Every structure is written in C-alpha cells, then in structure tokens.
Structure 1
Amino acid sequence: MIRISTIFIAICMVLVAASLGLVLYSVAGISGTESAIVALTALTFLILYNAVSMRLRDRSDVGGQIADLSRGTADLARQVAEFGRRLAAMEGRVASSNSANSDRVQSVVGEINELGGLVRQLAATVSTHEDLLAGSAPASAPAPAAVARTEPEAPVDLIAPFEERPTTPPPLSAPPPRPTPPVVQAQTANAVPAVNGRNQTQILATLRNAIDENRIDIFLQPMVTLPQRKVRFYEAVTRVRDERDQLIAAEEFISIAEASGLIGRIDNMVLLRCVQVLRRLMVRNKDVGVFCNVAASTLGNSTTFAQCLDFLEANRALAPSLVLEFKQSTFRALGPAETENLAALAQRGFRFSIDHVTDLRIEPRELADRGVRFIKVPASLLLDPKQASASDIHPSDLSDLLGRFGIDLIAERIEGERAVVDLLDYDVRFGQGFLFAPPRPLRPEGASATGGASPNQAQDIQGSNGSGTSSPSAATSAGTPAAPSQRVTGNAALARRI
C-alpha cells in the first residue's frame, strides 16, 4: 500500500511542473506545446530526484538495520555460550552426584552383606549355645561362674525399651526362698547404694583397685515421655564395686576421684560403656538415646580430653543419640580451655545436657548457642512456689521458653503421681525418677559386648580409650575363660530379640 507521504510528494511535483508550464505560457509567451514539454521535463527531473533520494535513504536505513541485526546476533551468541557453559556445569554436577550415590549404594550393600555374615555367625553361635545349655540341663546346680555371668543380665530390659511401662514401679519384694549360692549372695549385696564407714584413703585405694580391675559398673535409669510414659532415653549412672562386690555411689567417690586425678580414666571407661550400650539399644530402635555424665575436670584437662575426643571422633556416627551431661555449676564456671573443648564437641555433632540445677536463672539463648539441647530440673524445684519470685520466669512457662531455642525440659527425681499431674500442667515432656523405674545394673561384664561390633572393632575401641575393659578376675573364674562364654550369652539374647 502506497504511503500517504508518497502520494503527497507526487501531487506536489505535478503542481510544481504544471505551475512552471503555466508561467512560461502566460508570462514568457511560449506556446502551449512548448510549455507542456517544459512542464513534463521538470516533472521528470523531480521524479528522478525523488527516486534517487529515496534510494539513498533506503540504503542508509538498511545499513543501520544490518548493524543492529549484527549486534543482536552477537548478543544471542554470547547468551547461547553462557547457557551452554551452565548446562555443562549442571551435567558435571549430576554426573558427580550419580557417582557419589553409586558409591554410597555400594558401601551400603557391602555393610548389608557384612551384617548378613554376622547374623549367620550369630545363628551358629546361638545354636551351639543352646546345645550346650541342653547338655548341661541335668546338672544339679549351676556353676558359680555361670551364675555370675547370667544372673545380672535380667535387671536391665534392653529388649523392648520403647514399650509402655507400668504407672508404678514393680514391687521390690524378695523372690521366693530358694537355695542361693555364695556368688548370688554377693550379687544381692550389690543393691546397697553406698558403703559407709570408709575414710577418703580407703575410698581412694578402693577406687584405684576398681579402675585397674575394671570394677566400674553402669546402671541405667530410663527417661519417659509424659503422659505416655514410654522410654525415650537412658541415663548412665556410675557405680564402683569394691573387693567384696559392694557398691560405692558416685556421690561418695566423684570428689575424691577429681582431687586425685582419676576422674579422667573413669570418664573414659564410662564413655566406652555408654557407646557399647547405645549400640545394643539401637539394634532395636534408632531413636533411643543415652545420657553420659562428664566431669568438669575432664573437660578442662587437655590430655584426658584429647583421649575422650579421639574416642568420640571414632564414634561420630552415634553423636545424635549420645548426650554428654554436665553440671549447671560446670557451665557457669567455664574457662577459655573448657569453652574451646566444648565447642570442639559441638562441632562434631554431640549434644549436651545440664543437670544438678539449683536455680531457674537460665539463659536459653546462650545455652543453645553452646550446644545444650536438654535441661534436667528436679521436680521439687519446678513445683516450688518460691521459684516464681526468685527467677525471671514462672516455672510453668519454662518449658515453652526453652522450646523456642530447641531445648527440652526434663523433670527428674519424680517420686509420686501427684507430681506427674502437676508437671503436666507445666507442659513438661519428659520425666525421670523412681516412680517410673530405679537405676538398674547391667551385667558385670555386659558392657564388654560391643553391641554388634566384631571382636577386632571392640579391641580398636578399647585401644583408643587407653584402658582395657575385660576383668582379669572374670577371665580366671572357675579355671575357664569367662569372656567368650559371656559374649555367647549376649549374642544369644541379641538373636532372640531379632
């Protein structure tokens, strides 16, 4: 379609040529024919001039368009190159991710095959053990060594740690009268919580002998959810046995052990036992956890802490389930070295708990930044009306305040049903105390079982701790090696659970 400007220019050129011919005809006296020829000639020149000017203008416009097109093509080429580079980087990442996933799958397949071999060995061991039990059934009385190995296994129920517990603890009445061997009488004496009438020198000597002869026992006390009362965690409580198999409570020997520098060796042994018990528990359920107490002097001693850190680094996979517990006074008196060591544990994924709380002046933000995820407060302290005026927050709001920073409140030392009802009004999620279950002992040599690890792995763990865990007295009992028999008993129990 012809543009309006072109039509206007054509009309103007015709008018100019006609005007020129008319002027020549009327003014110059030229004839009409000559005036028409002159007018046509002028119109032709005007048409040629317009055509040439338009052609030149079109050429300049085409050149600009070509330049613009070249610039757009160059930009498009750069963008295509950039997209190609990004696509190549994404393909590389996908390839590396696929390679890593395949490596992980191969490692998992290898571990599953290894576990299958261990289960087959376990089944063969169980069969042999049952054959031995069937062959020794007609015996008149069990041997003292066998009693020592099997009798203490019952107190701690590691088979179903997440089943519901009764609302009240089972009665601690004595079993029906039956003939009791001397070893069993010595075992029942272990129920005594402490040994009285000892001075510090005697306790120190007993403590040294107990460490050298591996008479450091672990008692487990469950922590339950409220109000369901399902076992969620266990706290490892340390006890020391003397030469007469009588127990010394931690309150009696901790201060002496810290003053004499023995607490580091005790903490190393307790950490080893806790890791082994945790492995046994996690065979049944991966959500179970164990609280392990660590002394302040261990955290501040560079040599002892280095040994503990090496051992915990080797068991870093258990960090989400192993909770290290410290006193409130320890956290309030942290020095530069203790703070650095605590940060090293937090960097490796280990979580912390605070117990022995004496007041509710708590800074949850500071504790959460240091890796604290649990705070254990005595039920009597939470329910004390005086704490509402002595602390910055009412005890009923403490659980919500701690929950905002990812810290769970545990009410400990619960001994009555009335306290449970009152604590539910305070939104307390976890409870611990004799109302649910008292601390129960493990087998005397039960912690020597690695809970699914091979014997070589157990030796590696013991070597990293720096102290052995097998009792010399148990190895020479009744003239037979007791450790293999005891390991068979633990494997048989594990097989029955599976």
Structure 2
Amino acid sequence: MIRFLALPILAGLVAAILTAIAIRYMPAELQVASGPNATLIIVTAGAVTLAIASYATFVRFGLAFLQRTEGLAAFEADMRRRIARLESGMEQGVETRMAVNAIGHARGHAANETPAESKAGSVGAPQAGEPGSESDKVIQFDPAARGHGAHLPQARLIGARLAQALDRNQIEAWFQPIVSLPGRKTRFFEAVAYLTEAPEGKAKHAAQSDEGSDIGRAIEPAYSSAPEIDRRMLLQSMRLLRELDRTGKHAGVIWRLHQTTLADTHAFAGIERILDANGALGGRLIARIDHRDYASLDAAQTDRLHRLREMGFTLAIGNCPDTRSAREAVKSNLFAIVIIDIARIVVDDGEERPIHRVVARGQGHPEVEIIASGVSDEQQAMALIDQDILLAQGDFFSEPRPMRRNGG
C-alpha cells in the first residue's frame, strides 16, 4: 500500500517545487501581480497534480486488486475441481466394494477370521478332494459397505493383492447349492470367487493335505479385477456343468457378471466368444447381475445384457433392495430369476413382506422364479414353503465348497 501512495505524494512535491521555481523566475511586472497569490498558486497546482496522481494510483491499485481477485477465484475453482476429483476417487474406492466384513460362523473365533464349517450331509454340494474337507478363515469383502474414502488405502492394498492372486492362479470358484423346497434337491449351484491360500508351513497344494483343510477367502472383485475374475468363474462354471453332465445330474449353474465387465468392451467380447462356443449349455448357465450394478448400466451395457439373453442364456438379478426395484426387474422381461435375501421376504415371525407379494404374486410374469438367499434356519425354510417360494439358498442347507479335485 505504501508504494502506491508514494507516487501521488512525490508528484505533489515535484509540482509544488516546479511552481515555486516558475514564480521565482517570473518577470518583475508579473511578480507584483502574482506575489500575493504565490502561495495559493503553489497549493492549487500541487493539489491538482496530487489529484491526477492519486487517480492514476487508484486505477493502478484497482487493476492490481482485480487481477489478484481473479487469480484467487481461479485458484478456488481449481481447488473445487481437485476436491471433486478427490471425492470421485473416494467414491470409486468405495465402488471397488472391498470394505472388509467378517462372516460369523459357529466356532466362535474372532470376527475378522472365523472358520466356516462344512456341514456333513449338505444337499447337493460338490465334495472336496479329501473326506471331511473344511473351509477355514473365511473373510468376505462386503459389497454393501459404504464408506467415504476411509477404506481407500485398504481397497488399493486388497486390489493389489487380488492382482497378485490372479497372477498366481489362487482365485477359484467355490459353489453353493440352491435347493428346492420342501424336498431340498439341488436345482442350481452358484459360483462364488474365493482366494485360496495354503496354511503356514504348507506347500501351495496343502488344501489336499492329510489334514484335509481348504483355506479360502470369499471375495467381491475390485473394479479392476472383475473382468478377469468373471472370466475365470465362467470357465469353472462350465467345467462344473460338464462334470454334472458326466454324472447324470442336470442342475444349472449361476455365475456372477459385474458391471465393470459389461463396461469393458474387450473383456465382454471375450466372454461372448466363450459363451458362443458353448451355446449348448445356454439353458443351464445363468448369468447373475446384482441390482446395484444393473441400475448403473448405460445403454450400451444394457444392450450387451440383452445380447446374452438373445444367445439363449438365462439371466438372474440379485439383491433387489425394495418393492419398486423388484417390480421394475420383473417388468423388464429380461430376467427369468429374481434372487432376494430372506430378510426382504419374511420377518422373524414368518409374516411376508410386501416385496414378496410384488414379485411372487402377479405382475403377469408367472414364469419368473424366485430364489430366497441367506436362509439360516428351519423356521425360515418353513415360512418360504408357506408362501410358495420353493427355491432357497443359504448356509443352513450348505456352505460354498470347492469343486472336487480329480487326481489331485
């Protein structure tokens, strides 16, 4: 500020000095007339010069202020863009769906690592390579978790872990049966991606050791790994279908298709080639997409989903969160199977919820089958029978198990 005021002050002093010099060297006849008014002339000239200099200074200062204001506005706009990108990155981190949520099981271990005991005599589940095989230390990455960036570093770490596991061929399909009620015969198997690990001190294939322990971690693929995991789950699902054919069984297999795979043109083209080469399996191979992914599809991705249907493959939608979404899924004429969590079908006392009536009774789509997932006890199974929902899935019937390993 001082440097801006220095200019008018200096200009006023110079004007006063020049005026005084001019009066000093005036002719004598002019000095007589000017003498009494010399001081007034000097002050007036200085004031005028000071006003002009002040105006020039104000203009200069104003321009500088405007430039700084514009620069500050640009800086603020840039910061807003950066914050928006950061928030978008955090949301993307959340959409990797890698927040950790432990599955509770009967052994009473810590919540982050709890064993999953395979129930003896579970209906329809593929058997592991050794008698008495069990899964241990099962951790599920919960796709429903909703953070705001807090899990982003962990998501990156787990994403890198998945990429490493893919390179090491440690991700494989485990299959959980879907049974008919009340007979509890296997109608479908659903493929679940598991990260398999050997116990400490054991070799890579320790899952086939004398102890008969299968170490597995159920995973929900990160957005970057989903296409490759979907492809591997598809190949292993087809392998199971062929094994079922060989043994004279005719259950179908459900494999999960993620929105990221539909969005990746190259990855989806690879999926299409595999399906096209195995068209004979179309009637028994079901592609499942969760409602959250389905609601995020753009026009091109939706068209790809329709192409699968046109190729003869059955489509299923899972995790419909409310009545409206279930109704829209049924009315789309795209899905032949709707998978709904048991908590959205019945309450604790067996009373049915509205979402069941919307999907199961009416809508003019009697061909749509309903599968109740997450069934955990006999009371829930009986409530489903009472409401004419005759397909169910859950650990109560059988937990996910790896495919039988032929010849080790």
Q: The TM-score by the shorter chain falls in which range?
A: 0.5 to 0.7
Find the residue that maps to 1:199 and give its secondary structure.
Answer: helix
Residue 274 of structure 2 corresponds to residue 311 of structure 1: yes
Which residue in 1 is equivalent to 2:259? 296
Q: Could you state the TM-score of these two structures normalised by the residue count of structure 1?
A: 0.47
Residue of structure 2 equivalent to 1:341: 304
Deviation at 1:242, TM superposition (A): 4.9
- Secondary structure of 1:361's aligned partner: helix
| Distance in structure 2 (CA, Å) of the matches to 1:394 and 1:237 | 26
1:14-35 deviations in whole A, cap 9, x for unaligned?
xxxxxxxxxxxxxxxxxxxxxx
Q: What stretches of structure 1 of length at least 5 have no aligned partner?
A: 1-154, 158-162, 170-174, 177-186, 447-485, 491-498
Structure 2 residue aligned with 1:411: 372
The residue that corresponds to 1:223 in the other structure is: 178
Alignment length (residue pairs): 262
What's the offset of the Cα at 1:385?
8.7
Matched-pair contact (CA < 8 Å) for 1:156–1:441: no
Residues 233, 372 of structure 1: CA spacing in aligned structure 2 closer, same or farther, 3 A cutoff?
Answer: same
Give, in angstroms, the shift of residue 283 of structure 1.
Answer: 2.1
Give the whole-Å Cα distance in 2 for the aligned partners of 1:364 and 1:249. Answer: 30
Pairwise CA distance, 1:368: 5.7
CA deviation string 1:130-174 (max 9, x = no partner): xxxxxxxxxxxxxxxxxxxxxxxxx899xxxxx9949xx9xxxxx
Of 321, 324, 327, the match for 1:361: 324
Q: Residues 250, 401 of structure 1: CA spacing in aligned structure 2 closer, same or farther, 3 A cutoff?
A: farther
Deviation, structure 1 residue 379: 1.0
Contact 2:175 2:191 (C-alpha < 8 Å) held by counterparts: yes
Q: Residue type matched to 1:214 in 2?
A: N
Greater C-alpha radius of gyration = 1
**Partner-residue secondary structure (3-state), 1:357:** coil
What is the CA deviation profile of residues 97-150 of structure 1, one whole-angstrom value per residue up to 9, with x for unaligned ones?
xxxxxxxxxxxxxxxxxxxxxxxxxxxxxxxxxxxxxxxxxxxxxxxxxxxxxx
Query: Which residue of 2 is the match for residue 209 of structure 1?
Result: 164
**Which of 406, 413, 421 is equivalent to 2:382?**
421
CA contact (8 A) 1:402 1:408 kept: no
The one-letter code of the counterpart of 1:249 is: A
Distance 1:362 1:385 in 2: 23
Q: What amino acid sits opposite 1:229 in the alignment? A: R
Does residue 380 of structure 1 match 2:343? yes
Bigger shift: residues 195-204 or 419-428: 195-204
SS at match of 1:339: helix
Cα–Cα, structure 1 residues 437 and 412, in superposed 2: closer, same or farther, change >3 Å? same
In structure 2, the gaps of 5 or more residues are: 1-117, 126-130, 142-150, 205-214
Q: How far 1:364 sits from its partner (Å)?
A: 4.9
Inter-CA distance 298–156: structure 2 relative to 1 (3 Å threshold): farther
SS in 2 for 1:384: coil
What letter corresponds to residue 215 of structure 1 in structure 2? Q
Could you say which residue in structure 2 is the equivalent of 1:233? 188
> Which amino acid letter does the alignment assign opposite residue 254 of structure 2?
F
1:272-331 alpha-carbon deviations (Å, 9 max, x no partner):
111111111122335310000111110111111011011111111101000000001122
Secondary structure class of the residue paired with 1:221: strand
Deviations 1:444-483 (A, max 9, x none): xx4xxxxxxxxxxxxxxxxxxxxxxxxxxxxxxxxxxxxx
2:57 maps to what in 1? none
Alignment of 1:146-295 (within 5 A): 165=123, 191-194=136-139, 199-242=154-197, 247-251=216-220, 254=221, 257-258=222-223, 261-285=224-248, 287-295=250-258
Whichever structure has more strand as a proportion of its residues is 2
Residues 179 and 392 of structure 2 are in contact (CA less than 8 Å); yes or no, is this contact kept in structure 1? yes
Task: Say whether the 8 Å CA contact 1:365–1:405 is kept in structure 2.
Answer: no
Aligned residue identity for 1:224: V
| Amino acid aligned to 1:202 | L
Task: Assess if the C-alpha contact under 8 Å between 2:191 and 2:256 holds in 1.
Answer: yes
CA distance in 2, matches of 1:397, 1:366: 11
Distance in 2, matches of 1:428 and 1:195, equals 27
Amino acid paired to 1:428: I
Secondary structure of 1:377 counterpart: strand
One-letter code of the match for 1:231? T
Partner of 2:56: none
Mapped contact 2:326–2:358 kept (Cα < 8 A): no
CA distance in 2, matches of 1:323, 1:346: 10
Equivalent position SS for 2:280: helix
SS class of match (2:336): strand
More helix by share: 1
